[in-house]
Amino acid sequence: MLNIFLNSSPMLFLSDKLLVVTVATKETDGFRRFLRSAKHFNYSVKVLGRNQKWRGGDHTTAPGGGQNVRLLKEALEEMKDSEKIILFIDSYDVVFASGPKELLKKFQQARHKVVFSSESLIWPERHLEDKHPHVREGNRFLGSGGFIGYLPNIKEMVSDWLGEDADSDQLYFTKIYIDPAKKKSINITLDSKCRLFQNLHGALDEVVLKFEDGRVRARNVLYDTLPVIIHGNGPTKLQINYLGNYIPNTWTFETGCTACQEDLRPLTGLQESEYPLVMIGIFIQQPTPFVTVFFERLLNQQYPKNRLQLFIYNKEAHHDQQVSSFLQEHRHLYHNVKFIESTEDMDGTASRNLGFDLCRKDKDCDYFLSLDIEVVLKNENTLKIIIEQNLPIVAPMITRTGRLWSNFWGALSADGYYARSEDYVDIVQGRRVGVWNVPYVSSVYLIKADLLRTELTEYDLFNSNSLDSDMAFCDNVRNKGIFMYVSNMHNFGRILSTENYKTSHLHNDLWQIFENPVDWQERYIHKNYTLIMKNKLIETPCPDVYWFPVFSDVACNHLIEEMEHFGRWSGGKNTDTRIQGGYENVPTIDIHMNQINFEKEWHKFLLEYIAPITEKMYPGYYTKCSTPLNFVVRYKPDEQPLLVPHHDASTFTINIALNSKDIDYQVNEEDRLMLKQELNRVVYICTHTRVSLARRAVSV
């Protein structure tokens, strides 16, 4: 018999005799992952207990699982082929890492009729420890989550089962193993070095991913083995989820993500009326910059508006007007809108529970998109993309600019908070691209409404005595065995920083150049600014005077409105107590930047957007943009009789016209720096003086 096993052709014959048997009373995400891995290697699988009620207890935290033994015993009674080989394994937390040929080869090399998985920890009765046979190397204790053997031997092993469904299957098999007579009769051994089975509980430090030649395996570094079956037994569900992102060949360096295009729900070709109905829950829980831009991007989402419902919760009175303005102009576009204003007595946790429940009770609601106001969705197809992934819960990955902060966690610490997974940085920085099973998502994610009506029926999903609302939700989801995913297959956008956002100004977003520089630039810098050098957008209306676009129309309007809102314009006289010495040679009607606490932000603007241009214009000169005075000047016809033609004492002068160039001002070629105003027009100029850069004058 041994010689036959060692030949390759009989091994192929034995593959036909192999049957994988498992118990799954319902189809969970873990079970579907198990079936996918079995299909990948062409295993034949028989599933027991479908659509039956599980009565085996929660044997992940307490003894149980007897229902598995009963169902197995009943199924084996119908099997008669004595040469059949049975592989009995759990399925909710198991993946195959290799195929039947390797499994059977390692089984025959064990030279026993039944081989059980092994563990380094004894469960469930520690007092039986001394009765376990000693092994020269490897794990001593039996694990019931996986075993392989010949049909007659396994029949004999389960024939004495008379227990209840909630009794411990592990204890039953352990007592057989530590009974010398039964152990010998059935011919049982343990896979002590994890050649066939790898139980993760108690062995997390021993298991690493092995990438080689387009394949991914789990390697036990303690015994230098490559297990065929990986089992996330006990409290190791997050670790098997992590390994399942790669095994079996789900993601490799050579192929990338091989599973990301499976089971998609394509929307291409659908009529608008056929699109899934999505309820978008928008949550405003703190003062946030660029809220107006958020709603502009929401409008730009390429999804039929009549297939969208809006649920808007606003805790901040500061944003009531912005939300109301958006709804006043656009609510008619949407299928339905519910707005909870800041004056209503509802906290953030209650609002999220309510949003889910509105979708849960609406039979037409297909999805709920949870969207926090600080999310910047740059990708106009975000909603389409994540719907097409057809996953229970999926988040488009977003990050904070210049940081590793994102809207997902790759791992959890022992107390349930953030921990960095080995692949977190690679995923965030885009070196590994795919769809990833993760333990936590926040800020923006899509959930299937059917999930809310079946597995997640509890109203208070976001409530917890010790966890934040988002952590409480993810904890509830994990406890249900539901998978959460994050996709970084596209550049979806980013998330704003809200920590230092102040609301003391009229246009508070102007002050965000430090906290959210990318969003500040998109909002306030002219769209052609980056093309200045490439497309030669710098004009020269007269010698040593240069024009180029720098501010957007929004920036000009906001600066003007901010100054008018402040309202304390100088008198346009020679006496000026704001400056050193109290005397102004050439008085203007103006407001200094430091009067509105905009000095630091203005200096940052000069460094980021003016200095690079001037250094290109004047090679060899470098500027720190040190400025003793920055101000906005208001010009009106006949308002400033003391303002006469003059020579500016600056070595370098910047004037930024906040009005249209061709209508509101022009440069006098004779005087170069004198500004003429069109009759009856008000002209605003941002002026920055005395920049040590070059011995020339520049007008912007």
Contact 386, 394 (CB under 8 A): yes
The whole-number average pLDDT for the span 497-508 is: 94
pLDDT of residue 620: 82
Q: How confident is the model at residue 47 (pLDDT cuts 50, 70, 90)?
A: very high
Give pLDDT tens digits for 238-261: 999 999 999 999 999 999 999 999
- SS3 of residue 546 by DSSP: strand
The whole-number average pLDDT for the span 469-484 is: 97
The whole-number average pLDDT for the span 16-28 is: 96
Q: How confident is the model at residue 11 (pLDDT cuts 50, 70, 90)?
A: low
Query: How many Å apart are CA 498 and CA 493, to the nearest integer?
Result: 16
Same fold yes or no, 9-248 and 280-451+482-495: yes
Q: How confident is the model at residue 412 (pLDDT cuts 50, 70, 90)?
A: very high
pLDDT of residue 694: 29
Give pLDDT tens digits for 606-652: 999 988 888 887 788 788 887 778 888 888 767 777 677 766 665 55
pLDDT of residue 539: 79
pLDDT tops 80 at residue 664 = no
Contact 160, 66 (CB under 8 A): no
Give pLDDT tens digits for 515-566: 999 999 999 999 988 888 777 778 777 777 778 888 898 998 999 999 999 9
pLDDT of residue 692: 30
Between 657 and 12, residue with greater pLDDT? 657
Give pLDDT tens digits for 261-281: 999 999 999 999 999 999 999
pLDDT of residue 588: 85
The whole-number average pLDDT for the span 690-699 is: 32
The whole-number average pLDDT for the span 315-339 is: 96
Over the range 315-324, which residues count as b (16 or more CB within 10 Å of their CB) and which as e?
A: bbebbeebbe
Q: How confident is the model at residue 230 (pLDDT cuts 50, 70, 90)?
A: very high
pTM beyond cutoff 0.85: yes
- Average model confidence (pLDDT) for the chain? 89
Give pLDDT tens digits for 429-453: 999 999 999 999 999 999 999 999 9
The whole-number average pLDDT for the span 304-321 is: 97
pLDDT tops 70 at residue 672 = no
User: Domain 9-248 belongs to what topology?
Assistant: Spore Coat Polysaccharide Biosynthesis Protein SpsA; Chain A (3.90.550)
pLDDT tops 90 at residue 700 = no
- Has domain 280-451+482-495 been given CATH number 3.30.70.3040? no
pLDDT of residue 397: 98
Q: How confident is the model at residue 13 (pLDDT cuts 50, 70, 90)?
A: low
Q: What is the phi-psi region of residue 110: left when phi exceeds 0, alpha when psi lies from -120 to 50, beta otherwise?
A: alpha
pLDDT tops 80 at residue 655 = no
Strands (E), 15-84: 18-23, 45-48
pLDDT tops 80 at residue 134 = yes
Q: What is the DSSP letter of 106?
A: H
- SS3 of residue 559 by DSSP: helix
pLDDT of residue 668: 42
To the nearest whole percent, how much of the chain has pLDDT over 90?
74
E strand or H helix at 94, and its extent?
strand 94-96
pLDDT tops 80 at residue 400 = yes
The whole-number average pLDDT for the span 584-595 is: 88
Query: How many Å apart are CA 7 and CA 3, to the nearest integer?
Result: 7
The three-state DSSP-derived secondary structure of 145-210 is: EEEEEEHHHHHHHHCCCCCCCCCEHHHHHHHHHCCHHHHHHHCEEEECCCCCEEECCCCHHHEEEE
Q: In terms of DSSP bridges, do strands 85-89 and 18-23 run parallel, antiparallel, or are they unpaired?
A: parallel
Residue 466's CB is within 10 A of a number of other CB atoms, namely 9
Residue 339 is encoded by which pair of tokens? 């707005």
402 phi/psi in degrees, rounded to 5: 80, 5
Q: Would you list the domain boundaries of the chain?
A: 9-248, 280-451+482-495, 508-689
pLDDT tops 60 at residue 485 = yes
The whole-number average pLDDT for the span 24-37 is: 96
pLDDT of residue 59: 62
The whole-number average pLDDT for the span 337-361 is: 97
Q: Which residues contact 187 (CB under 8 A, 6 or more apart)?
A: 112, 113, 114, 153
Give pLDDT tens digits for 164-220: 999 999 999 999 999 999 999 999 999 999 999 999 999 999 999 999 988 999 999
E strand or H helix at 219, and its extent?
strand 215-220
Within 13 Å of residue 73, how many CA atoms lie on the same side as its CB? 15
Strand order in the sheet with 444-448: 336-340, 308-314, 278-284, 367-372, 444-448, 393-396, 484-487, 435-438
pLDDT tops 50 at residue 69 = yes
- SS3 of residue 441 by DSSP: strand
pLDDT of residue 574: 86
